């Protein structure tokens, strides 16, 4: 018998409409040079994939530790940070206490709570997309959740919440997870606190910096937290090819990714400024690799549909935030195509 907890859920959805230009999933748009592809092919061809991979993924953990100046014992690897969200929702606090997160935000926080039968303690963000601290404190005292998630920067709004508000919530005796999936585009982090405190961890991922297909995320926290959560980690959760390719990318080829990340930050500013000029569009400032924008002149669904017809796929978020869509920042020519298409669609509306 299927649990009734699953009834209200639906499988995780992404945009799969085929399109010439895909700016819907916040990936890093990069064409890897031939040299990189050759090296990867060479290393992958040596994998004895009839064997299980290293359950500890030591080489990859070492590469992550070195690359991001963290110690290996402070790192827990996940099959994407999605998996780590499950581990945290399972391993932190008891199931009779809820999980807090401001909304709208990344859907996995709520989904993990629902799957486990934990109370979802949601508080809407203010109009400027920052945390409503008065309402949050009120709700926290009423519902007594034990775990809180903060996407920092937040998806899909693109902003970082005020740090002092996150800390204020933690002061209520709540364990906080600062999800820094987009850290490379914001430069803002709670890493120091995660390494020092018993009530704070940081989530990171390789997905937004050119390796979404490898499914590698990591949690950073005190050694005891990593050790305890390791007890629920699925064995061999990072596949052999992912361990090999991610290690190679972080050691030999990271400079290539870094250069692209820098370009995205520049492009984000350009796209934002161009969107500001468009009548009928209200873009929101972003510290991530995407921009949320409001469609004022036509329904978001229609704008989305017309953009697909122009060969540009963006993500329609109007089910979550009225009239809003989200565009990932791609290569300059893709961003140009997006701007041209939206210009054309608006003009013809
Ligand atoms: N956290 C946030 C805020 C995200 O936007 C995403 C990706 N959409 C994730 C976590 C999951 O990333 P992954 O599982 O690919 O590491």
- For the chain, list the domains and their CATH numbers: 15-31+255-347 (3.90.1150.10), 54-238 (3.40.640.10)
Provide the whole-model pTM: 0.97
Q: Give the contacts of 122 (CB within 8 A, at least 6 positions apart).
A: 100, 101, 102, 103, 110
Q: For 197-236, what is each residue's pLDDT tens digit?
A: 999 999 999 999 999 999 999 999 999 999 999 999 999 9
Tens digit of each residue's pLDDT (9 = 90 or more) over 163-184: 999 999 999 999 999 999 999 9
Query: What atom in ligand 1 is closest to the CA of residue 151?
Result: 3
Ligand 1 centroid–CA 349 distance in Å is 34
CA-105 nearest atom, ligand 1: 3
| Res. 12 pLDDT band, cuts 50 70 90 | confident
- The residue whose CA has the least distance to atom 6 of ligand 1 is 181
Helix (H) or strand (E) holding 89: helix 80-91
Q: What's the N-to-C CA distance of the chain in angstroms?
A: 50
Compute, in angstroms, the gap from residue 82 CA to the centroid of ligand 1.
Answer: 6
Rg of the chain (C-alpha set): 21
> Do 180 and 187 contact (CB within 8 A), yes or no?
no
How does DSSP classify residue 51?
S
Q: Which of 151, 156, 155, 181 is nearest to 166 (CA)?
A: 151
Give the whole-number percent of the chain exceeding pLDDT 70.
100
Question: Any idea which residue has 């585009």 for tokens?
Answer: 185
Sign of CA dihedral 65, 162, 109, 13: negative
Q: Which atom of ligand 1 is nearest to the CA of 82?
A: 14
Q: Are 53 and 243 in contact (CB under 8 A)?
A: yes
DSSP sequence for 275-339: HHHSTTEEE---SSSEEEEEESSS-HHHHHHHHHHTTEE-EE-TTTSTTEEEEE---HHHHHHHH
What residues are in contact with ligand 1 under a 6 Å CB criterion?
80-82, 106, 151, 155, 179, 181, 205, 207, 212, 217
Cβ atoms of 73 and 59 within 8 Å: the answer is: no
Structure confidence by residue, pLDDT tens digits, 235-291: 999 999 999 999 999 999 999 999 999 999 999 999 999 999 999 999 999 999 999
**The two structure tokens encoding residue 61:** 């953990």
Q: For 188, phi and psi rounded to 5 degrees?
A: -105, 135
pLDDT at 11: 85
Q: Among the atoms of ligand 1, which is closest to the Cα of residue 79?
A: 14
Ligand 1 site-directed mutation target among 15, 155, 212, most atoms within 8 Å of CB: 155
Of the pLDDT bands very low, low, confident and very high (cuts 50, 70, 90), residue 100 is: very high
Q: What is the mean pLDDT of residues 111-123?
A: 97
CA of 279 to the centre of ligand 1 (A): 32
Q: Does residue 14 carry a pLDDT above 90?
A: no
Query: pLDDT digits over 278-336, tens only?
Result: 999 999 999 999 999 999 999 999 999 999 999 999 999 999 999 999 999 999 999 99
Give the residue whose CA is nearest to atom 1 of ligand 1.
181
| Cα(52) to centroid(ligand 1), Å | 26
Report which protein residue has its CA nearest ligand 1's atom 5: 155
**From the CA of 346, how far away is ligand 1's center (Å)?**
31
Angle between helices 254-277 and 240-251 (to 10 degrees): 80
Confidence of residue 49 (pLDDT cuts 50, 70, 90): very high
Closest ligand 1 atom to residue 153 Cα is 3
Report CA(197)–ligand 1 centroid distance (Å). Answer: 23
For the CA of 25, the closest atom of ligand 1 is 8
C-alpha dihedral sign at 301, 284, 105, 220: positive
């Amino acid at each position: 018998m299927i649990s009734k907890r699953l009834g209200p859920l639906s499988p995780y959805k992404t945009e799969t409409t085929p399109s010439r230009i895909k700016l819907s999933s916040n990936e890093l748009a990069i064409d890897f040079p031939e040299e990189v592809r050759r090296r990867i092919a060479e290393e992958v061809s040596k994998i004895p994939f009839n064997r299980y991979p290293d359950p500890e993924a030591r080489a990859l953990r070492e590469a992550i530790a070195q690359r991001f100046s963290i110690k290996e014992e402070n790192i827990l690897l996940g099959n994407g940070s999605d998996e780590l969200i499950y581990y945290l929702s399972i391993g932190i606090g008891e199931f009779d206490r809820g999980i807090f997160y401001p909304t709208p935000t990344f859907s996995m926080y709520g989904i993990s709570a629902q799957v486990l039968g934990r109370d979802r303690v949601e508080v809407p963000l203010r109009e400027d997309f920052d945390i409503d601290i008065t309402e949050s404190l009120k709700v926290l005292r009423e519902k007594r959740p034990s775990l809180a998630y903060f996407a920092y920067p937040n998806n899909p709004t693109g902003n970082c919440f005020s740090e002092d508000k996150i800390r204020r919530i933690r002061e209520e005796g709540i364990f906080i997870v600062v999800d820094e999936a987009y850290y490379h585009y914001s430069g803002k982090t709670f890493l120091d606190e995660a390494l020092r405190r018993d009530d704070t961890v940081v989530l990171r991922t390789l997905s937004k910096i050119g390796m979404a297909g490898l499914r590698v995320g990591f949690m950073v926290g005190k050694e005891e937290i990593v050790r305890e959560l390791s007890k629920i980690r699925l064995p061999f959760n990072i596949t052999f090819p992912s361990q090999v390719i991610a290690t190679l990318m972080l050691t030999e080829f990271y400079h290539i990714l870094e250069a692209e990340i820098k370009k995205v930050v520049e492009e984000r500013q350009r796209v934002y400024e161009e969107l500001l000029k468009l009548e009928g569009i209200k873009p929101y400032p972003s510290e991530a690799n995407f921009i949320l924008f409001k469609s004022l002149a036509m329904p978001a669904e229609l704008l989305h549909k017309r953009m697909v017809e122009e060969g540009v796929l963006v993500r329609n978020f109007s089910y979550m935030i009225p009239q809003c869509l989200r565009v990932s920042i791609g290569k300059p020519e893709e961003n140009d195509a997006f701007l041209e298409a939206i210009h054309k669609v608006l003009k013809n509306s």
